[in-house]
């Protein structure tokens, strides 16, 4: 996964560098919330996002490597299996995010060159809408793989209640994962329906916050139930 992620990241950077050779010197580089072009700049500013993608690949690589090393070095079989699973989940999540951001970069370049060619005053490609749709897809992917994580101090829905034991972790993270996927679907739908990308983004943020709060309440409920079961067993 790490190798594929790095290959895609370098393709994003190299592809952008090659494409920019055919761009005019000045292209739109910033838009206001209404989609109006409010700043033109050097075409080479479009290299910033691919560099960010590379930085993200480094972050994911370090993250994944930590769990891979932990899986190899630990003598605890359960901890090793959990670390191995978390490394795999992080690898898939990192790869998916790299692919999505690379696709976004393609739309950004297309929007910049078409706007420059037509001397437009507004964006020709709604980057905000595409970004929000991509964000929704990321929520769905992360939610899907969140159900496969084992209890740990880094990945997943981590509060004291959910991390009490394996049962509270599994139930809380499964519930939170489904909520995140629903938030992702909602984000995509709202981005398609609404014309204003800023409002769609705020609606998406609201959906994620609501999901987190509901999951927090559920995690506490599961924790209380688990404590009750343990006390009942001792009695």
For 79, phi then psi, to 5°, come to -65, -40
Whole-angstrom distance, CA of residue 68 vs CA of residue 58: 15
Asked if 101 and 56 touch (Cβ cutoff 8 Å), the reply is yes
Asked if 61 and 6 touch (Cβ cutoff 8 Å), the reply is yes
At 218, is the pLDDT very low, low, confident or very high (cuts 50, 70, 90)?
A: very high
pLDDT at 48: 94
pTM of the predicted model, to two decimals? 0.78
> How many Å is the maximal CA-CA distance in the chain?
78
At 233, is the pLDDT very low, low, confident or very high (cuts 50, 70, 90)?
A: low
DSSP state, 149?
A: P
Tokens encoding 137? 């897809």
For the stretch 170-204, pLDDT in tens is: 999 999 999 999 999 999 999 999 888 888 989 99
CA nearest to 99, candidates 1, 187, 18: 1
């Amino acid at each position: 996964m790490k190798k594929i992620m790095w290959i895609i990241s370098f393709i994003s950077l190299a592809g952008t560098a090659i494409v920019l050779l055919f761009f005019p010197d000045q292209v739109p580089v910033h838009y206001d919330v209404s989609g109006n072009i409010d700043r033109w700049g050097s075409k080479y500013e479009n290299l910033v996002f691919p560099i960010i993608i590379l930085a993200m690949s480094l972050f994911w690589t370090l993250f994944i490597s930590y769990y891979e090393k932990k899986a190899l070095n630990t003598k605890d079989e359960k901890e090793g299996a959990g670390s191995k699973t978390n490394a795999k989940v992080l690898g898939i999540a990192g790869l998916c995010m790299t692919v999505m951001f690379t696709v976004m970069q393609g739309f950004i370049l297309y929007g910049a060159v078409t706007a420059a060619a037509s001397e437009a005053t507004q964006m020709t490609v709604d980057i905000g809408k595409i970004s929000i749709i991509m964000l929704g897809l990321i929520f769905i992917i992360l939610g899907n793989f969140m159900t496969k994580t084992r209890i740990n101090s880094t990945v997943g829905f981590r509060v004291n209640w959910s991390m009490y034991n394996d049962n509270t972790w599994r139930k809380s993270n499964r519930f939170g994962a489904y909520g995140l996927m629903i938030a992702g679907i909602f984000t995509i739908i709202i981005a398609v329906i609404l014309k204003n990308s800023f409002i769609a983004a705020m609606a998406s943020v609201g959906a994620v916050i609501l999901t987190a709060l509901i999951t927090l309440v559920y995690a506490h409920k599961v924790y209380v139930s688990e404590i009750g079961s343990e006390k009942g067993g001792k009695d």
